[in-house]
A and B are shown apart, each in its own frame.
Chain A
Amino acid sequence: MIVLDSLLMFLIAYSTGFLYYGLYRNITARFQRRYGPPIWQSFFDSIKFFTKEESTSHGWMFYLGPIIMMTGAIMTLLFIPFFSNDESFVGLSKYGNLFVVLYLLVLGPLGNALGVGTAGNPFGAMGITRGLSRLFAMELPFYIAVIAIMSLSGSSDIATISASQTMLNAVAYPLLFIGALFSFIGMMGQAPFDVVGAPVEVYSGPATEFSGKFLALLMSQSAIFTFAKLVLMVHLFLGGADGFLELLGKTFVLFLFVIAFGSMYGRFKTAQSIDFLLKVPTTIAVLGLILATWS
């Protein structure tokens, strides 16, 4: 039963993630006064990479790096239930909690870092350094908001947190939501915090040296990860979901906001983004924490 559940969750995340990426390219294109590719374009991209005749590899660690990334992404997905009150589509979430999910978010980048480091491309090391430096600054406002919400809900189980919201957490604790939203924009890889994978600037950063099927695996895990993070945010701040329509609607609205924000702004440098993230969103989140728990 768990196996079928997990498989369905994986398929839904895979197709929805890629669909959202196709919609992202279309919507960004409309912002730029042009038509974009068809919305199935991301599927085509990743399948094309699977049909490449050969893929370059730099040894067994390079081969296993993308596999660790994909495993991290799928495990993060399986530990987040889709619905607040349902017994289906829960995956393995009964055996874990929010702390497990927060740490599984970093397992993928670790696999990426190991694979890129083995290839030995110095541009890859530069991209990984940027990613890790941005990580701790980006996670701080998110951690503050999540800790506040866990303390207010009295539990670290995701289903409990999302079911116990009488009023949406985003409306009840707006400062926490705004602080977490800054981090979330960075986690989605949108400007102004998208310095990590800057394509030509740092030779595509953490995705350097991956070709063929490894790159396809990278794109697939990125889609699954996106969907998992969107569902997590919906559960934490937007009141969870009771059916597929509500889940897809809420995740899409959040995604739309994030990409609209990203298409407006330029890119911060690494030091600038760390400085900004440690000052403005952190202060907002700390204020929100104090206001929310001061009783």
Chain B
Amino acid sequence: MNEGFLQEQKTLEGDLNSENSHQNSVDFLMNWFRKRSIFVLAYGTGCGAIEMPPTFTSRYDAERLGIRGAATPRQADVIIVSGYCSYKTLRRIIRTYEQMSNPKYVLALGSCTVNGGMYWDSYNTIKKLEDYMPVDMYVNGCMPRPESILEGFIQLQKDIGEGKASSWQKYEENYEFYRKNQEAVLGEKVAPSYEADWYLYDGGL
């Protein structure tokens, strides 16, 4: 039985026991280093950020997995979208996301990023993060406890190691789609023009 709701659920959930995908040894080595050291941007975007401090400090200690905080988007690998995104915050999140260097991963916490969650009928929040930014890993809950966040990180590490966490490539390839959605809610000047140049036209060395 490979059809139906339960099967669809299975594709959305992570599975720590799945087999490794095949990649050549250079990619394998690079992904191995990338998964062992994850820098998370210190940016709490919504009310879900309350669960981030316990995860990164002594009690639940995310540092033993190699995860630590980073101050600026230039230094970060992962941005955690923790909870709802009002339009005001969405503008900053997108600008910050575009300033991070590839490869970058997005971890979406809470049900607000999936379908609007508790604010499903609000005039000021977005209902589906996937329309505006590509997401690598969802962690369900309202709010997910630190144990769930850690399991999300472990699954993200596994995906990185197998080369499956490629949302940054998805963003570059489908940039027009994302940009159209962003402009629809944020107005025409969603980000400074030099940002669009970055993605639409190839520049630099």
Knowing A35-B64, A210-B74 are in contact, say whether A44-B36 is a contact too (CB < 8 A): yes
Knowing A44-B66, A53-B103, A199-B69 are in contact, say whether A204-B75 is a contact too (CB < 8 A): yes
A203-B43 Cα distance, complex, nearest whole Å: 12
Interface: A94 (CB within 8 A): no
**In the complex, which residues 178-208 of chain A have their Cβ closer than 8 Å to any Cβ of chain B?**
199-200, 203-204, 207-208
Expressed in whole angstroms, the minimum distance between the Cβ of B88 and any Cβ of chain A is: 21
A160-B65 Cα distance, complex, nearest whole Å: 46
A31-B99 Cα distance, complex, nearest whole Å: 35
Q: Which residues of chain B are near A53, meaning CB under 8 Å?
A: 101-103
Chain B, residues 28-61, CB within 8 Å of chain A (1/0): the string is 0010011011010010000000000000011101
Does B63 lie within 8 Å of A36, measured CB to CB?
A: yes
Does A35 lie within 8 Å of B71, measured CB to CB?
A: no
Chain B, residues 77-117, CB within 8 Å of chain A (1/0): the string is 10000000000000000000001011100000000000000
Does B63 lie within 8 Å of A48, measured CB to CB?
A: no
Q: Which residues of chain A are near B103, meaning CB under 8 Å?
A: 52-53
Interface: A228 (CB within 8 A): no
Interface: B23 (CB within 8 A): no
- What is the total number of residues of chain B having a CB less than 8 Å from a CB of chain A? 29
Q: Which residues of chain A are near B70, meaning CB under 8 Å?
A: 199
Interface: A152 (CB within 8 A): no
Knowing A54-B101, A212-B101, A215-B75 are in contact, say whether A44-B37 is a contact too (CB < 8 A): yes
Interface: A25 (CB within 8 A): yes
Contact residue among B36, B57, B59, B72 (Cβ-Cβ distance under 8 Å from A48):
B36
Q: Which residues of chain B are near A25, meaning CB under 8 Å?
A: 63
Does B64 lie within 8 Å of A37, measured CB to CB?
A: yes
- What is the total number of residues of chain A having a CB less than 8 Å from a CB of chain B? 32
Q: Which residues of chain A are near B204, meaning CB under 8 Å?
A: 54, 57
Is the contact region of chain A dominated by helix, strand, or loop, or is it mixed? loop
A38-B36 Cα distance, complex, nearest whole Å: 10
Knowing A41-B37, A41-B66, A45-B37 are in contact, say whether A209-B61 is a contact too (CB < 8 A): no
Q: Which residues of chain A are near B63, meaning CB under 8 Å?
A: 25, 29, 34, 36-37
A155-B116 Cα distance, complex, nearest whole Å: 73
Q: Which residues of chain A are near B42, meaning CB under 8 Å?
A: 199-200
Interface: A126 (CB within 8 A): no
User: How many A-B contacts are there with CB distance less than 8 Å?
Assistant: 83
Interface: A56 (CB within 8 A): yes
Expressed in whole angstroms, the minimum distance between the Cβ of A194 and any Cβ of chain B is: 14
**In the complex, which residues 125-171 of chain A have their Cβ closer than 8 Å to any Cβ of chain B?**
none
Q: Which residues of chain B are near A209, meaning CB under 8 Å?
A: 72, 74
Kindly name the residue among B65, B74, B77 whose own CB sees the greatest number of chain A CB atoms within 10 A.
B74
Expressed in whole angstroms, the minimum distance between the Cβ of A104 and any Cβ of chain B is: 27
Q: Which residues of chain A are near B77, meaning CB under 8 Å?
A: 48
A212-B39 Cα distance, complex, nearest whole Å: 12
Contact residue among B33, B58, B68, B71 (Cβ-Cβ distance under 8 Å from A34):
B58
Expressed in whole angstroms, the minimum distance between the Cβ of A67 and any Cβ of chain B is: 16
Expressed in whole angstroms, the minimum distance between the Cβ of A147 and any Cβ of chain B is: 38
Interface: A293 (CB within 8 A): no
Interface: A71 (CB within 8 A): no
Expressed in whole angstroms, the minimum distance between the Cβ of A125 and any Cβ of chain B is: 15
A48-B38 Cα distance, complex, nearest whole Å: 9
Knowing A37-B66, A199-B69 are in contact, say whether A208-B33 is a contact too (CB < 8 A): no
Interface: A283 (CB within 8 A): no
Interface: A32 (CB within 8 A): yes
**Interface pairs (23), CB distance under 8 Å:** A29-B61, A33-B58, A34-B59, A34-B64, A37-B64, A37-B68, A38-B64, A41-B37, A44-B33, A44-B37, A48-B77, A54-B101, A56-B74, A56-B99, A57-B204, A57-B205, A199-B70, A200-B42, A203-B71, A204-B72, A209-B72, A210-B74, A211-B74
Q: A29-B61, A38-B64, A211-B74 given. 16 additional CB < 8 A pairs?
A: A25-B63, A34-B57, A36-B63, A41-B37, A48-B34, A51-B34, A52-B101, A53-B102, A56-B99, A56-B101, A57-B204, A199-B69, A200-B71, A203-B72, A204-B72, A215-B74
A-B complex: 3 closest residue pairs judged by Cβ atoms: A211-B74, A53-B102, A204-B71
